[in-house]
Structure 1
Amino acid sequence: MLRVLHCVAGMGRGGVETTLMNIFRNIDRDLIQFDFLVTSKEKCDYDDEIISLGGRIHYVPSRKQGIMKSRKALIEFFSAHKEYKIVHQHVSSLSNIQAIIAAKRASVPVRIIHSRNTQQSGSKLHKYLHLWNQRNIESYATDYFACSGLAAKWLYGEKQFTKGNYKIIKNGIQTDKFVFNSETRDRLRKELGVEQKLVIGNVGRFNLQKNHMFLLDIFKSVNDANPNSLLILIGDGVLRGSIEDKIKELGLNANVILTGVRSDISDLLQAMDIFVMPSFYEGLPGTVIEAQGAGLPCLISDTITNEVQITDLVHYAPLGDTAEEWRDIILNMTADFLRCDTRLELVEAGFDMKSIAKELQKFYIDKFYTLLSETDEPNS
């Protein structure tokens, strides 16, 4: 059996992690198993499911615990685990590619780097490291993946982007799971006590990238115009305290629900009337794909790639526009809106998870058998 090692910070319920789990659930696990190399010691949302599906979770210290300690642990890991012939590292920038570098030094033959975003946060040092590694990435990686063309251009630079030396792996969804269901909608709205309200929703980590502060300003404007409105924020993160403070400051305590991290996103999307995402940047946000799968109108910032606009449900607005201008678009988009089944559009656009899992499975197996054939050659 081929075991593929995925390198991530941890397997919490984030966008990248959820996409990985969707692929893991849909591959032929008699042929391929996914294992995970993580830097988080805390138990994460998907850990139990990974084990139940036959995967393994390995831990190495993060760079925050010491650069040399982390590097030494990676070297020792790959020295002890010669079974891995394919290493797949998922990144938002090239500032930390130590897993791929250690895999190269251990002669792991297939080393995939996967771009998951279109910008990075962090210090000037992080930006310098990103640019430095961008120049040298060909020395370490054998294959280049990205969730979108924009994410590829950001990570690999103009030179590699122009060459087209990358493969797009779309952030697909299980389309049948998200299709609009009026019974589910009625049940969830009753449970949440929002039967007669205009419900605006967002799914995302509580961090700077997602721009929740502007979203709250937008909602305040909507609520002033329509007091019978409500905002649902699904997720959690380092800015939760700041978000709670702003909710109080705006006097919106009774009109905003913070659900925390949830596993029933497909159901919660049914309860919403519009999905709003004013992010500063995104790779290709799977949540917008999910919202379209649920037949929801989506208003997103114009910084987000147009590759996510699969249906006519998606509309863009500039981040430079005022909260009032976003409000007017929201009220216009939700007036007399009827939900629809978008399954066929998502499947035809290549965003069905079953097809994506098959595509990635074929890539891994083709690589593996190529390696076997090379090993079997005389004098190899």
Structure 2
Amino acid sequence: MKGAGQPVRVAHVIGKLSAAGVETVVSNYYQHIDRSRYQFDFYIDADSVIPPSRRLMELGARYFVIPPYQQLPRYMAALAGHFRAEGYQIVHAGMNSLSVFALGAAWAAGVPVRICHSHSTSAPGEPARNLLKTLLRPWAGVFATHRCACSAHAGAWLFGRRAMARGEVTILPNGIDCGRFGYCPELRAACRRRLGLQDRFVVGHIGRFCPQKNHGFLLELFGRLCREEPSAVLLLAGTGPLEGEIRRRVRAAGLEERVRFLGVVEDTAPLYQAMDCFVLPSRYEGLPVVAVEAQAAGLPCVFSEGVPWEADILPAVRRLPLAAPVWAWARAVAGCRGLPRQDGRARVAAAGFDIAQDAGLLERFYDACIRNEGGDALWTPSV
């Protein structure tokens, strides 16, 4: 609970810590928001695969570990208990359609501001997951007083086109610290030397090993690329449930010397410097942070049509449908070789992805929420 002169503590419910985009976005906002006014508490599932961030805790963040949402009664009871004990003014849930459970617990605990945040969409390839999303989507905003999304695409998916048209959804961009990602020829040369990539054509991808990111297709197109580009190397940063399967496929294709599994990389900025092309063949996305970071580094990018149009910032972005033949994807990637690199930070900032500006937007959003501007909950809790 906030005391006199104390910052407002915001409870961010983000699910499982897994080096994925949602926690990256919230972390970026937290590091740049005015922490004398707003502090964040992170609610994470007990089966998270990475530990809490020491850096964020040093800045004042707190982490609360709760039962995973698959244990729904325990999950909601734990959240409601914490929310009630801490006396939060704001609970901000970033779990898309699953946010209904966290916000239901917040409603039961009497939290006055309950924010539902859409970070993603859905697409074929994850039938069980998509069924759950489809069933929960109409209820996602039932307990919410305010709604927001990382892109118009993500907002329309969770809340509907009519809600977007009526201005009921606030867009909070997935901002980045542009200063960390600007292109630097000297840094690029040093990174490539350190990784032993001086004379290689480096294709890169950063993302969880899960159906959404479509690593199987990425590996298929890279195999085709290797026929035309004998110096090609693929860098894969991240971890996830499908990593073992992709490693087996790499061995079966005889590509062990060409594909590098980097695991969880805390500082990805040097990787973008070392790459020649960034590939994102996602089945669906809300608005991927990595797409913005890659363009800040001036990287030529090849995206699927599952990546929202708001992610197109630099002219060097190329798009292909996943239905296009693999050779067309390989040709698009090969066409990135030798393209001039330019610092993309100014364009990224102009497109609205500068976290220094976006953090101010979030502060104003929270201010408005506390003043109860635009609240649209179906029910008001009894407190």
TM-score, normalising length from structure 1?
Answer: 0.91
- Over 3 Å counting, the alpha-carbon distance change for 1:249 and 1:60 in structure 2 is same
Q: Does 1:86 align with 2:90?
A: yes
Summarize deviations over 1:15-74 as a string: whole Å, max 9, x none: 11111111111111111101111113557344312211111111221232x322222222
Q: Does 1:363 align with 2:369?
A: no
Q: Does 1:104 align with 2:107?
A: yes
Identity of aligned residues (%): 35
- Over 3 Å counting, the alpha-carbon distance change for 1:209 and 1:351 in structure 2 is same
Write the letter of the residue equivalent to 2:77: K
Q: In structure 2, how many angstroms separate the alpha carbons of the residues matched to 1:307 and 1:132?
A: 27
Retained in 2: the 8 A contact 1:41–1:59? Answer: no
Summarize deviations over 1:303-356 as a string: whole Å, max 9, x none: 21111001212110110112111111112232x311001121111111101000
- Over 3 Å counting, the alpha-carbon distance change for 1:123 and 1:250 in structure 2 is closer
Retained in 2: the 8 A contact 1:134–1:157? Answer: no
Give the aligned partner of residue 165 of structure 1.
Answer: 168
Which protein, 1 or 2, shows the higher relative CO under an 8 Å CA cutoff with sep ≥ 6?
Answer: 2
Q: In structure 2, how many angstroms separate the alpha carbons of the residues matched to 1:21 and 1:227?
A: 39
Summarize deviations over 1:112-147 as a string: whole Å, max 9, x none: 0000101177665x6565445443445310111111
Q: In structure 1, how many angstroms separate the alpha carbons of the residues matched to 2:141 and 2:260?
A: 46
Give the aligned partner of residue 3 of structure 1.
Answer: 9
Q: Which runs of 5+ in 1 are unaligned?
A: 372-379
Retained in 2: the 8 A contact 1:134–1:155? Answer: yes
- Over 3 Å counting, the alpha-carbon distance change for 1:256 and 1:131 in structure 2 is closer
Retained in 1: the 8 A contact 2:17–2:45? Answer: no
Retained in 2: the 8 A contact 1:13–1:45? Answer: no
- Over 3 Å counting, the alpha-carbon distance change for 1:129 and 1:53 in structure 2 is same
Equivalent of residue 135 in structure 1, options 131, 138, 142: 138
Retained in 1: the 8 A contact 2:285–2:307? Answer: yes
Q: Which has the higher helix share?
A: 1
Alignment of structure 1 residues 232-243 onto 2, 5 Å: 232-243=235-246
Q: Which runs of 5+ in 2 are unaligned?
A: 1-6, 374-382
Retained in 1: the 8 A contact 2:116–2:141? Answer: no
Q: In structure 2, how many angstroms separate the alpha carbons of the residues matched to 1:132 and 1:324?
A: 37
TM-score, normalising length from structure 2?
Answer: 0.90
Q: In structure 1, how many angstroms separate the alpha carbons of the residues matched to 2:192 and 2:66?
A: 43
Alignment of structure 1 residues 299-338 onto 2, 5 Å: 299-334=302-337, 336-338=338-340
CA-atom RMSD in angstroms: 2.0
Q: Does 1:60 align with 2:63?
A: no
Give the aligned partner of residue 3 of structure 2.
Answer: none
Write the letter of the residue equivalent to 1:290: E
Instruction: Tell me whether 195-204 or 152-161 shows the greater mean CA deviation.
Output: 152-161
Q: Secondary structure at the match of 1:282?
A: coil
Number of residue pairs matched by the alignment: 367
Summarize deviations over 1:211-256 as a string: whole Å, max 9, x none: 1111111111111111111110111111111111111111111111
Q: In structure 2, how many angstroms separate the alpha carbons of the residues matched to 1:81 and 1:131?
A: 33
Q: In structure 1, how many angstroms separate the alpha carbons of the residues matched to 2:269 and 2:27?
A: 15
- Over 3 Å counting, the alpha-carbon distance change for 1:197 and 1:176 in structure 2 is same
Write the letter of the residue equivalent to 1:80: A
